[in-house]
Amino acid sequence: MDLIPIKIEHGEEKAWDLVCGLSREDVSRRTGAVYDEKAEAYLFRSYGMDFHVNPCEMLIACPSDRGGIFLGKLKDFFRLAVLWYMSHAKDIPATGRLIRPVDVKGGHRFTTGTHVLPVDMIAQKFARDREGFIRKGKEYGAEVLTGFGDAYLRFYPLPRVPVSMILWLEDEEFPPRVDIFFDSTCEFQLALSDIVWAVAMMTCVVMIDG
């Protein structure tokens, strides 16, 4: 699927500079990342994969081939999400209370135009394929949970930012449906609705194209 470029007010270069100047201990404590002295980079867990983030060299690398989608097609989304998370995340636990992306401040934009999340594409792809939905989620580190829908996945795009995706299968009476939810702490961790949208979009894209 084609993606609309994401832009933020102060730009990516300023975000790199900001994170480069932060205390390593502070960043590690707030984000759940670990600073690797040998690699001179933060070791970051995202979608079940390890990434090395070197903010002072403006580099992100991943040893897994599957990480290529985040360093290529989703590069703009991923880099900004990681940088803004590293600079704004809070050392607070998730509440377990789920909210929709449209419920965050500024989230009303997610219902119209280019910001609409492609959940219908995911629903159609897995309309009668619960196991395929679960299998694809597991490829990107998702936990399989119960309690909602016909299949319930929880991704970790960022260590303190769980994203839940719930599938309702198609049947004779209802069409298939997919919903996405964030933990209620997401605005503390991501700071901008555009970054919330970027994380939601990445989670959709890996289920469609990943």
Please, which residues bridge with residue 59 across strands? 54
Contact between 103 and 110 (Cβ < 8 Å): no
Is 102 found in the same domain as 204? yes
Is 166 found in the same domain as 106? yes
93 lies in a domain?
Answer: no
Q: Whose CA is closest to 88, among 196, 189, 18? A: 189
4 lies in a domain?
Answer: no
Is 44 found in the same domain as 146? no
Strands 34-36 vs 41-46: parallel, antiparallel or unpaired: antiparallel
Q: With cut-offs at 50, 70 and 90, classify the pLDDT of residue 21.
A: very high
Residue 127 CA, chain-centre distance (Å), reads 23
Residue where one domain finishes, among candidates 88, 123, 138: 88
The tokens describing 52, both together, are: 């090395």
Is 39 found in the same domain as 106? no
Residue 16: domain span? 11-88
Contact between 15 and 60 (Cβ < 8 Å): no
Is 187 found in the same domain as 117? yes
The DSSP secondary-structure symbol of 174 reads S
34 lies in a domain?
Answer: yes
* Residue-wise pLDDT tens digits, 27-40: 999 999 999 998 88
Residue where one domain finishes, among candidates 47, 69, 88: 88
Count the Cβ atoms, other than its own, within 10 Å of residue 55: 22
Is 103 found in the same domain as 77? no
19 lies in a domain?
Answer: yes
Residue 119 CA, chain-centre distance (Å), reads 14
Contact between 208 and 121 (Cβ < 8 Å): yes
Is 59 found in the same domain as 141? no
Q: Can you give the pLDDT at residue 127?
A: 97
Is 202 found in the same domain as 117? yes
Is 120 found in the same domain as 47? no
Contact between 83 and 12 (Cβ < 8 Å): yes
Q: In whole angstroms, how far apart are CA 130 and each of 66, 79, 83, 168, 177?
A: 22, 31, 34, 9, 12
The tokens describing 201, both together, are: 């979009």
Please state, rounded to an integer, the average pLDDT across all residues of the chain: 91
* Residue-wise pLDDT tens digits, 121-158: 999 999 999 999 999 999 999 999 999 999 999 999 99
Is 74 found in the same domain as 111? no
Residue where one domain finishes, among candidates 34, 65, 88: 88
Number of compact structural domains in the chain: 2
23 lies in a domain?
Answer: yes
Give the integer Cα–Cα distance in Å for 106 and 57: 32
Is 118 found in the same domain as 67? no
The tokens describing 170, both together, are: 């198609």
